[in-house]
Amino acid sequence: MKKHILIDGTPISNQIDGLTQYILNVVLRLDTSRYDYTLLLRPNQCPKNYLKRLQAINIHIEEINISPIGPIRDIQFARYLKSHPHFDAAFIPSNQFPIALRIPTVYVIHDLIYEQFPEQLGILSKLKRLYLRYVVKTGLCRSKYVVAVSSYTKSEILRCYGEQFQNKIQVIHEGWEHLLDNQEDKQTKINIHFQEYLLYVGSSRGHKNLSRLILAMQQCANSLPNNVGLVIVGNQRMFTKNQLQMIENINSEREVVHLTGWVNDNDLAYYFKHAKALIFPSLCEGFGIPILEAYFHKIPLLLSNRSSLPEVAGDAAIYFDPTNINEIANTISQFAQTNNHTELIEKQDQRLTLYSWHKTATEILNIISSIWDTK
């Protein structure tokens, strides 16, 4: 009789973010001949194209109202586990370890950004930080195995929670094959006033370092050709008044910074394909999927030299200090004046071969299988 594995998919969202991509692409590549899987989803939150693919490979889907984060989630999860005691093990692919969980578990930690940037937690940030610490510490103690998405993330776990977890943590990187789903080269209308652009993809949260990038664009705008600008793709809901004012100021004479808001995967692929380069100025990342997106679309990458990013990108990026606005501006100016990036793209192609969702899923499945290894 097959073992029955519970997978927590409650963080999955229709507005696909990095965590949603991770969970869906790993689950889709698990070998369903070895185990039975039940994937928990919030109602109407899984993108329909992914839902059909999950059902096609016989992943049992259970829709239930469990919050993706917070103390209420723990109460809801405890009720679910009490009424569903038949699982042999669990796969928790996000930081949000259910504190009521007592069965053998493989637990994935993506980052500890709340430790470095607690102010991003907003109101009651100290209390929220204590709660997140408790959740992660509980997961580290109770899980059978822990997956860190980068060596940097592993080092942060050990720094914040102690060397006693050293042997429990395995580093398994992320993948990129989801990009193959968005190859339709449709004519997306881009209503901007410059022909060539650097692309920024992400939120405006503090660790993303968007404010320094905008200030750097303002500093180097006069040295750029009039047909070069910056396109910012991402949800604008968290933009501060100061950031919006900076953008308004820089665009006072000509449009230099263009905001798209949130876009779907097909439109995002279009922005990548037509970009002059991707610029990724983040101060802290657990992995950095946009690196692989740039490599896949064969566009140069201007990259922060912090956290996990050099680990993932290797020698296939142009690096800068993300805390130095002058250095960011100079990197942009110098890049805009250079046209031949063949050698860099060749390095990116080689680097991309190191990563794969299939490899990620296979390594995670091997860890799950080792739960019952009696050797």
The tens digit of pLDDT for each residue in 260-301 reads: 888 888 888 889 989 999 999 999 999 999 999 999 999 999
Burial class (CB within 10 angstroms; exposed 0-12, middle 13-18, buried 19+) of 52? exposed
> How confident is the model at residue 226, as a pLDDT?
80
- Contacts of residue 315, Cβ cutoff 8 Å, sequence gap at least 6: 347, 351
> Which DSSP symbol is given to 21?
H
Lowest mean pLDDT among 90-94, 249-253, 277-281, 367-371: 249-253
Judge whether 231 and 197 are in contact, CB under 8 Å.
Answer: yes
Could you tell me which residue, 159 or 253, shows the higher pLDDT?
A: 159
Distance CA 120, CA 105 (A): 29
Residue 16 in this model has a pLDDT that exceeds 70: yes
> How confident is the model at residue 222, as a pLDDT?
85
Average pLDDT over residues 39-53: 94
- Contacts of residue 127, Cβ cutoff 8 Å, sequence gap at least 6: none
**pLDDT digits 0-9 by tens, 68-114:** 999 999 999 999 999 999 999 999 999 999 999 999 999 999 999 99
Judge whether 93 and 12 are in contact, CB under 8 Å.
Answer: no
> What mean pLDDT, rounded, does the chain reach?
92
Q: Nearest CA to 204 among 119, 282, 126?
A: 282
Q: Which residue has the tokens 């059902």?
A: 55
> Which DSSP symbol is given to 356?
-
Q: Could you give the percent of the chain with pLDDT greater than 70?
A: 97
Confidence of residue 357 (pLDDT cuts 50, 70, 90): very high
pTM of the model: 0.92
Type of residue found at 15: Q
Burial class (CB within 10 angstroms; exposed 0-12, middle 13-18, buried 19+) of 67? middle
Confidence of residue 185 (pLDDT cuts 50, 70, 90): low
Lowest mean pLDDT among 141-150, 151-160, 169-178, 266-275: 266-275
> How confident is the model at residue 375, as a pLDDT?
46
Count of beta carbons in the 10 Å neighbourhood of residue 65: 9
Q: Nearest CA to 62 among 94, 78, 35, 40?
A: 40
Cα distances from 375 to residues 51, 93, 106, 194, in angstroms, run: 37, 26, 19, 63
Q: Could you give the percent of the chain with pLDDT greater than 90?
A: 73
> How confident is the model at residue 140, as a pLDDT?
98
Q: Nearest CA to 112 among 165, 152, 85?
A: 152
Q: Phi and psi for 78 in degrees, rounded to 5?
A: -60, -40
Distance CA 307, CA 293 (A): 18
3-state SS assignment for residue 56: helix
